[in-house]
Amino acid sequence: MIFTSFFDALAQMRDPRFLRVLAMGLGLTVALLVAITSVFLWFIGLFVPDTVNIWWIGEVTWLSSVASAAGILMMMVFSVFLMVPVASAFTGFFLDEVAEAVEDKHYPHLTSAKPVSLGENIRESLSFLGVMIGANVLALILYFTPFAPFVFWGLNGFLLGREYFFMVAVRHLGRTEARKARAKHMPVIWFAGILMVMPLSIPVINLLIPILGVATFTHLFHRLASPESGGKIQYQPTK
């Protein structure tokens, strides 16, 4: 069930709505990093004058240029580490569209989803990002042990699966029932989450994980609800 859901999601990665969400997430990320760099360079300019007189050298006019170049280089280094989490957070604002694209293609007769508002998506995404960062900071000491990969996969697989399943389920069940369904099927959700986390260390591929993850969990949710699996999740389709 999990691997079938994963490969079905992978096969739809070229869907225009998937690519649109990816483009919006990356576009907002680049815009934010450019804005931060501009503010940082402006801040440097407040403290580094254009011209300085040094008594044994004379007038120096290149200090601000050197400071600006150093600032740009520093922000480029920071952006390498910031790109993935920030892009994931921004992409999370629009993941409801990914779930909708999967359901329109694969489950048009089963969909009873109530779209989640952009404001709620933003709140959930920022909350999830905060929890994920906090949990990994607390687990930092374990990342310096031989068990580091397993700790990383286990912890983040749990968090990722928990969040993405809820994101899909809440559209059909409401918040209370979505939490109950998540708790009931946590072993399956956790394993699927680990499958999503493993490629996070691969450059470029890691930017696709939020989209691939929600698409996979959309398939997983509907398969858990299907009669073939015993209807383990109950909801009333209306479409």
CA–CA separation, 86 vs 32, rounded Å?
9
Q: What is the pTM of this model?
A: 0.74
Q: Can you give the pLDDT at residue 52? A: 52
Q: Can you give the pLDDT at residue 189? A: 92
CA–CA separation, 163 vs 149, rounded Å?
21
Of 195, 175, 185, give the one whose Cα is nearest residue 221: 185
Of 202, 212, 170, 167, give the one whose Cα is nearest residue 15: 212
Average pLDDT over residues 120-145: 77
CA–CA separation, 82 vs 90, rounded Å?
12
Work out the mean pLDDT of the chain and round it to a whole number. 77
CA–CA separation, 71 vs 63, rounded Å?
12
Q: Can you give the pLDDT at residue 191? A: 92
**What percent of the chain has a predicted confidence (pLDDT) above 70?**
70
152-208: pLDDT as tens digits: 888 888 988 888 898 888 888 888 888 888 998 999 999 999 988 887 767 667 778
Cβ(113)–Cβ(172) under 8 Å?
yes
Gyration radius of the chain's alpha carbons: 22
30-66: pLDDT as tens digits: 787 777 777 777 776 666 656 555 555 555 555 566 6
215-226: pLDDT as tens digits: 999 999 888 877
Q: Can you give the pLDDT at residue 88? A: 65
